[in-house]
Structure 1
């Protein structure tokens, strides 16, 4: 018999009305605090984390819901499995874009931030995420950045925060230092104004001290391989040697680092960075100083990224007046200035072996410099004037005096012995990783809690005075001299030294946006604690994060910075584990319908608000999970959205064919257990699209049969709920069930019942398929042959020579 149950307060419509249903359930979840993590530390925990967003004025784009929905599915499933789930959300709200918007529109950044957050939060809630909003955090809240400042003071006291003069990318319009990635073709990515190199005194964090720990930690976490690779490549650990090249006639030496000290006999010139201090030191002895100075000015207008780009045209100027001496053979070689050598990497000087390095070879060919092959396969020389011979990881040394004939590995060892014995070099482990430039000359950031005293130097503010509040200002315009707008606030700047009590000045640089995002996951565990960044009890219970998902663009810097801060706090005995995230995955980008990256200029941006309004939040969630493999880029499709809405409409109509049986029907028992198994597995393994495909297949089977038991429908609604929570809650209520779907127990499958009891096999005559039959998997040969002959009927004629049965696969009857 068919069963229809209606509640007076919720009369089922023939058509699913998403606008009414979704608002209803979002309010119920909010009133019931349905997804709040508890402080019951006796329960098994699960901490699911997504990167908290920067609340821009544009609001959410359709790329945001992809990772949020993915981990929302995991969080909802885990709650039904009995876990105490922490799935939090907050705001990475300091930063330059807000400040630029505030300057342009003459609105205080604090107001801009509040308006943006209000809009973002409303959008997120409209999509029905199971975030624990009681744990919401905001990096611009003094109660939050008090602990960001506290961590900085810990770093400072441990000798890991220091100030240093260094060249930075300086936007002539934004009046701010820019990261290399923010400079494109010599201009500011944001405003298009020229960018120059400017020497500034910057706060630095000594992340390089943690390079080995950051590499070692990757052995103990479950990160997708390309994330681990990116981390290791960014750190760039290498083993080699430091070598001193004397400057002819001078006491100074040019120190270089090389991983290939075995190729020293192939050095035919050296290159120094345009910023190298020896240029200024020997200015009076450099005969072509005007040419050098002009080249330096040109180099100052390029970012480090542009300068180091391998494909760019090689430029440089030979220094007329200085020569270097190759320490292994005493030969003088020219010294060139070229912008592809950076002062911020290594020593600011390199040895050039053009026979075995493509960039050195191109430079040598352009400027007519000698090329000497020193490594060969099988001892044979090649024409290195035609191309660099770079296949030199193995081979034997040639043209190399005392290391001739040695294999590369042995030659390196012999050369390091020689360099060490002569006092002109030594073995060295080096890193591509540079110390973290930590200060910004802007207003909208955390104040750095340091004062400068002429007598005592840089002195930390006492921890009892935290938070050091960001002062209210009338003008937050950037200054022409490169100082922070805070520098003009003399009443705030002028203070007393915490050490000697004398006059002192506050640090007026602010922290970068990276600061607040480097530890936010810790604050979620205990966000209202006023005594410490989080209680030890909460940290021990919740950490490490069980699953962290974010964009691939954040798997180098953000991930590295947060791992560095966490490892430091572990060393300080603040947190209980050395790594913050046990599992890290990344999602693919959602592209426009034309397959290009979404942007206003391309006119292909999709606003999720429009999808929620026209098709419903559940449709948006279902489509974003069904669009394709989660870790791959996928193009948006309006037709795909409509298809997912049709799927949900058909799910809604399952009520019309529901019978009153509580269990699984014999017809669908195997398929239900298979579906539970597949959906459960796929939700945990980033295979959301195939999980939904399985649910679609099951829906087709029910529709084709024209019936579904109440037990089957209840299980089906639980399986679909993490993806489409609103419609499933509404249907649960409509069929007369008590409680909520989110309160149910996740269904379990019986492995034995996932195996089909019947199997379809091909029936052949002389190797050609003529029919198919369905048989019991354990049927004996005689009964299978009999069924096959019956299926063939009149098609089987002549004399039967042989009857072949391959169990579970085919019957082949050989006849003449």
Structure 2
């Protein structure tokens, strides 16, 4: 055991909380909490000890031994499950002893030698079953379909959902849920594109075969054209899949979720921004700016819209059906540029065939510095799917765009280039099925991925990763190069580069307005219980600071509404509380729901962190009582347990059981 863990254990044993904990065990009293399993730590001793000894608000697991009741926490944040550890570097006895060490530190006094002997060695097998059953029971449906929200973003466990008339609904919001057989995750290969391409180029195979490999990986050629407004000094690079599309561009959409377009978004007039905020149902809003089409010289309007999957999206309704909804919404006319397979309305390209026109256009514009050729990947994400096939159970978590959400990954085939179904408005059905092209799962591929996951816990691979040797580059079956060579090589690179690999695992569409609403709805439902006892406490929960936090990276679109939110809640406090009005609860709920929509592209953990900084400052200045702070801490632990754990350890150690003894509705 390292010195860090020893110091924490000594601190724990000398604390009042430790002695209270022992008393509770003697009374065979089980601690229960309704907090969902958002965070927990790994089963390796390095991270398990600090967690069990310092964190008061993580949910607890219950197991029953001979005349002993004890609690236990199982990790998913390290991307590892019990079965994975058991299969690869732990046996059941060693794992069991690890846990007994922790229990003994907590004062339980449970000796493995007295429990496990040759006569009752079956206990180990039962422990294994118990851990697996316990884990799956609380986090996942044990078999069959996965329950998600209507967009497949959030995965629900059995306690977060209710069944009515053979359909499932969110237990808190009554929103309709969906059953699906698949849940897709991806490995982000973007940091390793150069290394991957160098490997492919060095393969001793025909050039056509290399092109096929790149095609399977989704590599495509794009041409970027420079759109300019010389009067306002605006230059925007616009990528087009085909060069001859240029004459048909009628507008450009800028998505504020991407920082690349912030200068243009923030220059939009305040009245335009306010109009867009008040009419969120619109496809977008005119920014007040125009830009010149470099081919035709015609003015192209610039719109702000959240409804795109990239920062800069050119509207070409004559050639892309999906663009028609925007042009209809904005009242724009479509420009036809093809007639009898020849170009029209395209200046000097008129009358040329499509391929010839593209060649002439590129050679002319590139030489003048008005265009450049780039090679991009449709997707840099290698999708991992729960499928019937080769693999083992590896659960994951995602709370926001940097962490993984609970999912039962019993099998690990890799997939890429997923085209999701179009998201429908309101409650309409999603149109059509999505397409997935996949890689065959191999033992080498599964092993490489497992090693990658194991390395996320305690990687000792500090030596540089070399390219495969020459003999590895010759394959009898060239169709398996991606599965047997390229992807394992990428994963080994990720293992050796913690800086790049730190956040390389995400879930598809990790952050959305719907996901934020789900989390904040839990937050508000919890707050409504608190409001019954103390409205003043509830007020303190939501006054963050005088100015928005820099962590939000807010645009002007959000800053205005955020400041308005603070002003309105300040007004509610003075008007509602002073008049003994009970409308505060309803207004608070409404305001917070509105705030969700304006923060739809922001990270919830940063939102909570900024609130936490306020709490910490208030406590240091003695402006908030410990009871008020405990209520607050319980609230934020629902969505940010790591922050709650840190604050508890530093401030509230002596008042640990107030949460359970004073407020029975929390148990």
TM-score (structure 2 length as normaliser): 0.34
Larger helix proportion of the pair:
2
Greater per-residue strand proportion: 1
Q: TM-score, normalised by structure 1?
A: 0.28
Larger CA Rg, structure 1 vs 2? 1
